[in-house]
């Protein structure tokens, strides 16, 4: 979706606007003094709808406060695919910018005709078209009956040049925060008339099959409305939420299950990957460099399964009424969720409407789609009654898709001049995407448990360069003369996995940047100059030089005595934002990240404060991953099912975060949500090495692994 689509005039439109070109699908002026925007991108807490509203206000010359941007609704919003991959501004923002530029042009022509002046004489101030010498102008709302927006974007109109921006580039207040502070935004708080509550009884482990259940004791409990069973899918509904929880717990005690196949041993998981069937992908295959290498270095890096770790469990609402199914979901893929429901239930598309409502955090494909389908299946048993299903904490940890475990092998050679002559890299692990609609087979957890059961199908990947999974950032961005990079996409999937922030870039960048540090040390070079020797892109060099200045770091300064500083760099997906990170660590009885400094170039910045929020959140989450997080499991089930068994970073452990934004308003916006993920992880790992002189290559970087590395 990154390549623009050509119009009949030979000009181009942003891809998602080309796919849904009717201007009235994007912009309307139905309420006097207000502008209504519809977008296909959803608000996940990243402030993206506010940034898109800024872009619209800029092009329309309307006060930002007058812009209303509505949640995605499958019955009326343009289909812009999933909100993922740090692509919201690049896709949804650019589509809205172009749509609004064309809307402004149409209204300008109408105003010029009504005022009997040349269009070049008009200026727009706060939504009013004015001309010098005339006391009164005409507003968008006064002209709205004269302008037909039920027409396709033509691509003939150019948005404003950056020099004319007055709204874009400003840290304007987010539109989603006031309602959140009043408690009126989140899906979990939505109340529908006559709504009842549902809970799901989960199998005791992956692949377990329900043999029989005694429903009598549960049905006799106060408030219980219905018990729903379809194969191994088992749920209960009650008038009140606490009644549904008690009924679920009672029902679980009265079930008999047949255990599923055993999971691979956790302690040898990474060896297990190498023994499984895999699809081989050559991401880079240069002819070998003929220059003789003086030094060769090889290392293996691993990451565990990771949880999304949303603070609140997933929630979904469904309501079958008047021959229609309404669903409220925090899904990243509203239209795909609708299409999957339509396919599985064999319903006409027009009878299913899915509306987005914000959840409690996302970071990738968590349980939002699954819990929505849970609600659909329960609500089908009580037509006319809205059903709210909220997962329990152990549901979320044990049954949401996990971020995949991975292995990366790297072998690099240095020539006589201390430059990298050859780079070889192998990636092992599952693919990273199992969102609804990405495979012919069902993408919902409940669909696998229904009836006779369906096998859990392996994940897939979106095509590079914008997509990718394990391959994301696998090819180093450096100027190496010869590279061989091979992805071994393992087709056996013992534990359900899907997209988690930055996907494979987390481990791939950790591995690449760790090796870059190791090679710098091996050749007697400092980590900054070594990287710059291998980078010709001036924007890449600029972020490294900027972060070194910002941190006031001397890269030649010795480490040791438990304190260290580390650097890392990456360009996200090799086509996205540029990020360089310096981390400072202190090791006593634990590893503490004291300070993180970053320099980021994301092209044109729409809302600087929103960009900083995204980057700071990324740094904090990745620090938690690197120091603490890993999903644990036994022979049959995930055992990390609460905050004790899956600890995350505490407020008292947060590093100080200092970020420099390099503004390039003349360049396209590049997105920021995931760009610091890999560099932050690698900078922490490099800082630990600088502090102790030992390298931890298995994530998370915990004290037992440091001791093991030292021994």
- pLDDT digits over 498-553, tens only? 999 999 999 999 999 999 999 999 999 999 999 999 999 999 999 999 999 999 99
With bands split at pLDDT 50, 70 and 90, how would you rate the model's confidence at 294?
confident
Contact 585, 687 (CB under 8 A): yes
Residue 2, pLDDT above cutoff 80: no
What does the domain layout of the chain look like in residue ranges?
A: 5-172, 187-259+308-399, 406-432+468-710
Q: What's the pLDDT tens digit per position in 142-187?
A: 999 999 999 999 999 999 999 999 999 999 999 999 988 888 789 9
User: What does the mean pLDDT of the chain come to?
Assistant: 94
**Average pLDDT of the segment spanning 636-659:** 97
Least confident of 107-121, 440-454, 650-664: 440-454
Provide the 3-class DSSP secondary structure of residue 281: strand
* Most trustworthy range by pLDDT among 16-25, 83-92, 288-297: 16-25
Is the predicted pLDDT of residue 59 greater than 60, yes or no? yes
Two tokens, residue 216: 């009598």
| 203 DSSP assignment | P
Q: Rounded distance, CA 67 to CA 35, Å?
A: 5
What is the predicted pLDDT for the residue at 419? 94
Query: Taking the domain 5-172, which CATH number applies?
Result: 3.30.365.10
Is pLDDT above 60 for 437? yes
Tell which phi-psi region holds residue 594, choosing left (phi > 0), alpha (psi between -120 and 50) or beta.
Answer: alpha
Element (H, E) at 550: helix 538-551
Contact (CB, 8 A) for 674 and 279:
no
pLDDT tier at 259 (50, 70, 90 boundaries)?
very high
Question: Of all residues in the chain, what percent carry a pLDDT higher than 70?
Answer: 98
pLDDT of residue 448: 93
For range 249-269, the mean pLDDT: 94
User: DSSP code of 458?
Assistant: P
Contacts of 39 (CB under 8 A, 6+ apart): 26, 49, 52, 69, 72, 77, 78, 80, 92, 95, 96
Position of tokens 């220059």?
Answer: 291
Report how far apart, in Å, the C-alpha atoms of 349 and of each of 20, 169, 320, 352, 354 are: 17, 40, 14, 6, 11
Q: What is the mean pLDDT of residues 449-462?
A: 88
Only one residue has tokens 């948005």, namely 159
Q: What is the CATH number of domain 406-432+468-710?
A: 3.30.365.10
Q: What is the mean pLDDT of residues 18-45?
A: 96
Residue 292 pLDDT: 66
- pLDDT at residue number 5: 53
Q: Kindly list the distances between the CA atom of residue 570 and the CA atoms of 543, 567, 636, in Å, as whole numbers in the listed order.
A: 10, 11, 38
CB 509 within 8 A of CB 677: yes
Neighbours of 286 (CB within 10 A): 13
> What is the distance between the alpha carbons of residues 392 and 378, in angstroms, rounded to a whole number?
16
pLDDT at residue 291 greater than cutoff 90: no
The number of residues making up the chain comes to 711
Quick one: average pLDDT of 613-641? 97
pLDDT higher than threshold 70 for residue 10: no
pLDDT over 90 for what percent of the chain? 87
What is the pLDDT at residue 11? 65
Q: Write down the residue that tokens 């181009």 correspond to.
A: 12
Name the pLDDT band for 3 (thresholds 50, 70, 90).
very low
| CATH, domain 187-259+308-399, list 3.40.50.300, 1.10.3720.10, 3.30.530.20, 3.30.365.10 | 3.30.365.10
Out of 254-258, 464-468, 602-606, pick the least confident: 464-468
Q: Above 80 in pLDDT, residue 640?
A: yes
- DSSP string computed for 34-98: -EEEE-S---SSS-HHHHHHHHHHHHHT--GGGEEEEPPBTTTS-----S-TT-HIIIIIHHHHH
Asked if residue 234 has pLDDT above 50, the reply is yes
- Average pLDDT on 113-141 reads 93
Are the folds of 5-172 and 406-432+468-710 the same? yes
HEC assignment per residue over 636-679: CCECCCCCCCCCCCCHHHCCEEEEEEECCCCCCCCCCCCCCHHH
- Name the more confident of 262 and 288: 262
Asked whether residue 6 carries a pLDDT value surpassing 70, the answer given is: no
- Count the Cβ atoms, other than its own, within 10 Å of residue 17: 29
In the prediction, which pLDDT does 361 show?
Answer: 83
Kindly state the tokens that stand for 416: 């006589």
**Bridge partners, 592 (sequence order):** 586
What average pLDDT does this structure show over 632-652?
A: 96
Mean pLDDT of 328-351: 96
């Amino acid at each position: 979706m990154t390549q623009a689509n050509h119009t009949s005039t030979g000009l181009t439109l942003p891809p998602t606007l080309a796919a849904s070109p009717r201007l009235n699908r994007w912009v309307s002026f139905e309420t006097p003094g207000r502008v209504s925007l519809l977008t296909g991108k959803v608000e996940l807490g990243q402030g993206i709808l506010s940034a898109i509203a800024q872009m619209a206000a800029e092009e329309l010359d309307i006060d930002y406060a007058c812009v209303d941007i509505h949640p995605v609704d499958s019955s009326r919003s343009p289909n812009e695919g999933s909100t993922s991959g740090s692509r919201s501004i690049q896709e949804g923002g650019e589509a809205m910018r172009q749509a609004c530029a064309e809307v402004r042009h149409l209204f300008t022509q109408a105003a010029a005709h009504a005022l009997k002046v040349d269009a070049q004489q008009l200026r727009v101030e706060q939504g009013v078209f004015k001309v010098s010498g005339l006391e009164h102008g005409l507003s968008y709302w006064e002209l709205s009956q004269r302008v037909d927006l039920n027409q396709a974007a033509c691509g003939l109109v150019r948005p404003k040049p950056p020099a004319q921006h007055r709204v874009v580039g400003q840290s304007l207040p987010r539109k989603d925060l006031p309602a959140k502070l009043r408690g009126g935004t989140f899906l979990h708080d939505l109340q529908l008339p006559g709504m009842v509550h549902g809970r799901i009884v989960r199998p005791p482990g992956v692949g377990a099959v329900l043999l029989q259940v005694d429903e009598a004791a549960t049905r006799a409990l106060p408030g219980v409305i219905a018990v729903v069973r379809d194969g191994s899918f088992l749920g209960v509904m009650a008038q009140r939420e606490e009644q549904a929880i008690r009924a679920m717990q009672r029902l679980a005690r009265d079930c008999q299950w047949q255990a599923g196949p055993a999971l691979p041993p956790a302690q040898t998981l990474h060896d297990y990957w190498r023994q499984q069937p895999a699809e081989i992908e050559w991401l880079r295959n240069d002819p070998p460099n003929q220059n003789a290498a003086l030094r060769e270095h090889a290392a293996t890096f691993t990451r565990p399964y990771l949880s999304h770790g949303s603070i609140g469990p997933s929630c979904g609402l469904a309501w079958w009424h008047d021959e229609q199914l309404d669903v409220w979901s925090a899904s990243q893929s509203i239209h795909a969720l609708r299409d999957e429901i339509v396919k599985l239930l064999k319903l006409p598309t027009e009878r299913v409407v899915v509306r987005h409502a914000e959840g409690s955090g996302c970071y990738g494909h968590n349980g939002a789609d699954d819990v929505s389908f849970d609600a659909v299946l329960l609500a089908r048993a009580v037509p006319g009654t809205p059903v709210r299903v909220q997962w329990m904490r152990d549901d979320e940890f044990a049954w949401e898709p996990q971020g995949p475990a991975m292995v990366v092998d790297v072998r690099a050679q240095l020539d006589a001049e201390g430059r990298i002559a050859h780079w070889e890299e192998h990636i092992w692990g599952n693919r990273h995407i199992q969102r609804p609609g990405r495979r012919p087979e069902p993408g919902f957890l409940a669909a696998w448990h229904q009836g006779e059961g369906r096998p859990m199908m392996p994940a897939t990947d979106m095509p590079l360069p914008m997509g990718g999974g394990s391959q994301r950032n696998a090819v180093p961005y450096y100027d190496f003369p010869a590279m061989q990079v091979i992805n071994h996409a393992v087709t056996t999937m013992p534990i359900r996995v899907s997209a988690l922030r930055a996907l494979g870039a987390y481990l791939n960048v950790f591995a690449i940047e760790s090796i870059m540090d190791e090679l710098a040390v091996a050749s007697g070079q400092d980590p900054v100059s070594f990287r710059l020797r291998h980078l010709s892109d001036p924007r890449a060099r600029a972020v490294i030089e900027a972060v070194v200045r910002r941190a006031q770091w001397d890269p030649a300064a010795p480490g040791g005595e438990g304190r260290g500083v580390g650097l890392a760099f990456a360009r996200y997906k090799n086509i996205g934002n540029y990020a360089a990170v310096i981390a400072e660590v202190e090791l006593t009885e634990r590893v503490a990240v004291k300070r993180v400094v970053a320099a980021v170039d994301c092209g044109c910045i729409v809302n600087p404060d929103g960009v900083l929020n995204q980057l700071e959140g990324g740094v904090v989450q990745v620090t938690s991953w690197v120091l603490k997080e890993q999903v644990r499991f036994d022979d049959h089930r995930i055992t990390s099912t609460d905050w004790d068994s899956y600890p995350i970073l505490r407020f008292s452990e947060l590093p100080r975060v200092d970020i420099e934004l390099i503004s390039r308003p003349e360049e396209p916006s590049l997105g920021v949500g995931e760009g610091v993920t890999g560099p932050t992880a690698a900078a922490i790992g490099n800082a630990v090495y600088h502090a102790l002189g030992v390298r931890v290559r298995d994530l998370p970087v915990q004290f037992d692994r440091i001791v093991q590395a030292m021994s």
